[in-house]
Amino acid sequence: MWIAVDLALPNAGEDDTVQASDNLWKAVGTVAVADIVMSLDNVVAVAAVADGNWLLLGLGLAISIPLIVAGSSLVMAVLDRVPLLVWAGAALLGWVAGEMMVSDAGIADWIGGAAGAEHWARPAAAACAILVVGISWSVGTIRKRRAASEI
């Protein structure tokens, strides 16, 4: 859920900076650590969507890792041109997080079992909650910037 909220917030990820390296091996190490962290995040996401299906997990990783490595520049260019896709991605992540919560045995016992339409209503509510938080935060940020510029 937090990843989806962070994606929906304005300026998500823009404050992240990486120190320039004067040594080739330090630069290689930085790239290697970043790749490992992104790969672990990718494995968790693909495993959640695969929902225990080993074939889907293997295919998902085989397809997604080359896409992440080779397609990140293309994806960023598209997201810069069509910001609505960022919101759609945040809502999708909220939906998947809600689905994971409904499917988790420990949480399902706590919130009560869901069947039929109620089962789909909870992930939809999670997706909507992500959008509401992101839009509310964006409106607040815009108001603060306007107030600061009027001073």
Can you give the C-alpha Rg of the chain in angstroms? Answer: 19
> Closest Cα to residue 89, out of 9, 7, 12, 13?
7
Q: Is the pLDDT of residue 3 over 90?
A: no
Q: Which sequence spans correspond to the domains of the chain?
A: 2-150
Over the stretch 31-51, which tens digit does the pLDDT of each residue have? 677 766 766 777 788 888 888
Structure tokens at 121: 């209503």
pLDDT given at position 62: 85
Place of tokens 């409904």: 102
Looking at residue 112, its pLDDT comes to 67
Res. 109 pLDDT band, cuts 50 70 90: confident
pLDDT per residue as tens digits for the range 127-143: 898 888 888 888 888 88
Residues with Cβ within 8 Å of residue 78, at least 6 apart in sequence: 85
Cα angle 18, 69, 82 (rounded to 5 degrees) comes to 80
Query: Which pair of tokens denotes residue 99?
Result: 């689905």
- What would the pLDDT profile of 80-98 be if each residue is shown by its tens digit? 899 888 888 888 888 888 8
Is residue 28 pLDDT above 80, yes or no? no
The C-alpha atoms of residue 97 and residue 101 are separated, in whole angstroms, by 6
* Unique residue bearing structure tokens 């080739």: 24
